[in-house]
């Protein structure tokens, strides 16, 4: 039985009580800011605590939110949860995608050991609900992935891709805790690539090139989710929805050629073997932040089915994958950082249907 099938078999059927006092780890990160603001606006929430490793400038404070400086690996975490009488935790704290081996060691410490500490602190402080931001990357990038991955599919991310592998290790840990600590209800959100007005991630970095890198013979479909929709799904999870694992993605998928069209760019398709060698050389020479392990990620990107998100969690994303990409392109242009080629015209939404 796969981990995903085991979860589906053991998924809790009853909703968790609506959150009243919420702590958000990684509260000042790109995603954390959107989530904290959305929770602060939520009617009926008595308290929101934003925890971050660095002090948050007062200019970024959301009225009514308590900001606390601290690390998710801290042995004081349970004490902080008790101090603020937290009943629900939103765990967003995560490392940046590691590049060098030393970065990977630190990323593992934050991602895996940090989550272990969060789980133990929640148990010690009798927190009743934990919402975890996971990633669709935990499914792994494999040639035999189904066209649309559902929550019942196995998590198979390999050790070669650090970020994806860490997410898989975290989910393995969460699955064990669902059995050993059933009193701590879990909602695990497996995110598609997140886009937003100010987002910068490995995917958007690839779009900065004059031509989009592609593996010959693969159109590599992608799904996206707008950051406000991520916040919306988290708020929904905290308002009495049923716990479980959910793919969080906008409707529809875009192939690489469609993405290039919207960016007003062309692709640069290269044979997988040549691309692997070039990435290895570029990483060795310090010319690229991406290594040869990225090849499968480029050609076999996990494509997430969002049916359970809409029908079981009860959240319908406001933006489709295509609309999220168009909004990202427009936001970059407004900020004076266009990712589209000069003079490129954006195709109509209907052209991709």
Low-confidence winner among 114-118, 161-165, 276-280 (lowest mean pLDDT): 276-280
The hierarchical CATH code for the domain 3-192+225-249+304-317 is 3.40.50.720
Do the Cβ atoms of 227 and 317 come closer than 8 Å?
no
Q: Is the pLDDT of residue 290 over 70?
A: no
Among 254, 251, 238, smallest CA distance to 311 is for: 251
Q: Is the pLDDT of residue 5 over 50?
A: no
Q: How far apart are CA 201 and CA 54, in angstroms?
A: 20
pLDDT digits 0-9 by tens, 319-334: 999 999 999 999 999 9
- The SS3 assignment for 212 reads strand
- Residue 350 DSSP class: G
Q: What is the pLDDT of residue 46?
A: 63
Highest mean pLDDT: which of 3-17, 46-60, 109-123?
A: 109-123
- The SS3 assignment for 209 reads coil
Q: What is the pLDDT of residue 343?
A: 46
Give the pLDDT band of residue 201 (cuts 50, 70, 90).
Answer: confident
Residues 147-175, mean pLDDT to the nearest whole number: 95
Q: Is the pLDDT of residue 317 over 90?
A: yes
Give the pLDDT band of residue 90 (cuts 50, 70, 90).
Answer: very high
Among 239, 240, 120, 136, smallest CA distance to 180 is for: 120
Q: What is the pLDDT of residue 351?
A: 29
pLDDT digits 0-9 by tens, 235-271: 999 999 999 999 999 999 999 999 999 999 999 888 9
* Contacts by 314-317, CB closer than 8 A, 24 or more apart: 314/236, 314/241, 315/229, 315/232, 315/233, 315/236, 315/241, 317/225, 317/226, 317/229, 317/232, 317/233, 317/248, 317/249, 317/250, 317/251
Q: What is the pLDDT of residue 285?
A: 83
Q: What is the pLDDT of residue 7?
A: 46
Query: How crowded is the C-beta side of 9, counted as CA atoms within 13 Å?
Result: 9
* Boundaries of every domain in the chain: 3-192+225-249+304-317
The tokens 């499968």 sit on which residue? 296
**Which residues have CB under 8 Å from 250's CB, separation 6+?**
192, 223, 224, 225, 226, 229, 306, 317, 319, 320, 321, 322, 323, 324
Q: How far apart are CA 66 and CA 86, in angstroms?
A: 12
């Amino acid at each position: 039985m796969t981990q995903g099938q085991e979860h589906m078999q053991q998924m809790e059927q009853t909703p968790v009580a609506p959150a009243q006092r919420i702590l958000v780890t990684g509260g000042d990160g790109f995603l954390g800011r959107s989530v904290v603001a959305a929770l602060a606006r939520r009617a009926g929430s008595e308290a929101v605590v934003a925890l971050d490793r660095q002090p948050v400038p007062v200019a970024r404070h959301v009225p009514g939110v308590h900001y606390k400086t601290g690390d998710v690996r801290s042995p004081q975490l349970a004490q902080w949860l008790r101090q603020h009488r937290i009943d629900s935790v939103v765990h967003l704290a995560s490392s940046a995608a590691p590049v060098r081996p030393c970065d990977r060691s630190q990323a593992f410490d934050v991602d895996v050991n940090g989550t272990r500490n969060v789980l133990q602190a929640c148990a010690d402080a009798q927190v009743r609900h934990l919402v975890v931001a996971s990633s669709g990357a935990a499914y792994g990038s494999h040639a035999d992935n189904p066209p649309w991955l559902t929550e019942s599919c196995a998590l198979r991310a390999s050790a070669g891709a650090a970020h994806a592998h860490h997410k898989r290790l975290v989910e393995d840990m969460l699955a064990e805790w669902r059995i050993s600590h059933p009193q701590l209800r879990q909602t695990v959100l497996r995110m598609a690539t997140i886009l937003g007005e100010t987002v910068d991630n490995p995917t958007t970095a690839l779009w900065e090139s004059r031509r989009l890198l592609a593996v010959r013979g693969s159109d590599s479909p992608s799904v996206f989710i707008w950051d406000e929709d991520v916040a919306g799904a988290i708020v929904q999870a905290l308002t009495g929805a049923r716990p479980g694992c959910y793919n969080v993605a906008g409707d529809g998928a875009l192939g690489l050629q469609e993405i290039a069209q919207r960016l007003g760019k062309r692709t640069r398709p290269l044979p997988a073997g040549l691309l692997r060698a070039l990435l290895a050389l570029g990483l060795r020479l310090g010319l690229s932040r991406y290594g040869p392990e990225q090849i499968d990620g480029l050609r076999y990107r996990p494509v997430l089915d969002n049916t359970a998100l809409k029908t079981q969690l009860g959240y319908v994303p406001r933006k489709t994958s295509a609309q999220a990409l168009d909004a990202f392109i427009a936001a970059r242009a407004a900020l004076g950082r266009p990712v589209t080629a000069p003079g490129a015209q954006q195709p109509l939404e209907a052209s991709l249907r």
